[in-house]
With several copies, the nearest count.
Chain A
Amino acid sequence: MRVVRLLDTALDPAAELARFAAAHAGAGGLVSFLGQVRGGEGIEALDLRHFPPLTLPGIEALADSASARWRLDGIAILHRIGEMPPAAPIVLVAAAARHRRDAFSAVDYAMDHLKSDSWFWKREKRDGAWRWIEPRAEDGADLARWAPVT
């Protein structure tokens, strides 16, 4: 099972994971990452923008590349776009594999690339004002953990 979706309405992680687990009932291990809008620090909302011609194809290529690097029975990448309140689910990545290390690595890899190497622009609303989020210094280090496949 290979699921890649961009959603402009609420993401229901429990339902999506239940569906994915049911489709991979014999897999042995299933790792998932759920990212939620952080609360606190005056954050009122997060707005996620994308560029349709590139964003979804980029995530599809990421799912393919994770599937090529590790032995997976399936991978799912679901990502929100648009405006979200604190605590709303933003991203769900799940991988099913016979050996749990493959599933852990694939989800970790997909998250590093989704966060730093995918066509998303984020802005935060704090105390009524929107502010764009810039790249972080750690992002390059996160990506450098994954040597290119040669």
Chain B
Amino acid sequence: MARLVFLGRLEDVAGADEITLPLAAPTPLDAVVAQLPAALARALGDPRIRVAVNGALVAGPALIAPGDELAFLPPVSGG
């Protein structure tokens, strides 16, 4: 299992602010995303979206392990 957290407008696309996904072994981030519904996977492909694994921002390809929390952070709202 991995926990996926969606911030901002991604919550509306995902239909929930978080979901859990079955995950039996360490899996590349893009393979995790590929398991999601097409519209959500497409939204998460926006290059402006930052990803945090267990609360720390990651850059580039990441390996997601069972038990990880994966957060998707779209651009902040500005002011």
Contacts and interface: CB of A to CB of B under 8 A. Distances in A.
Would A and B touch once assembled, by the CB under 8 A criterion? yes
Interface of A: 49, 51-54, 111, 114-123, 132-136, 138-139, 142
A129 to B, nearest CB: 11
Contact of B8 (A49, A52, A114, A139): A49
Contact of A121 (B56, B57, B74): B74
Contacts of B71: 51, 53
Interface residues of B, number: 18
A121 B55 contact: no
Contact of B77 (A52, A133, A138): A133
Interface string B46-59: 00000010111100
Nearest to B48: A135
Chain B's interface: helix, strand, loop or mixed, by majority?
loop
Nearest to A139: B78
- Chain A interface secondary structure, helix, strand, loop or mixed? mixed
Contact of A134 (B52, B54, B78): B78
A119 B73 contact: yes
B7 A135 contact: no
A100 B73 CA distance: 26
A142 B78 CA distance: 10
Interface in B22-79: 52, 54-57, 71, 73-79
Nearest to A140: B78
B75 A135 contact: yes
Given A54-B52, A54-B57, A132 B76 contact: no
Interface in B1-33: 5, 7-9, 12
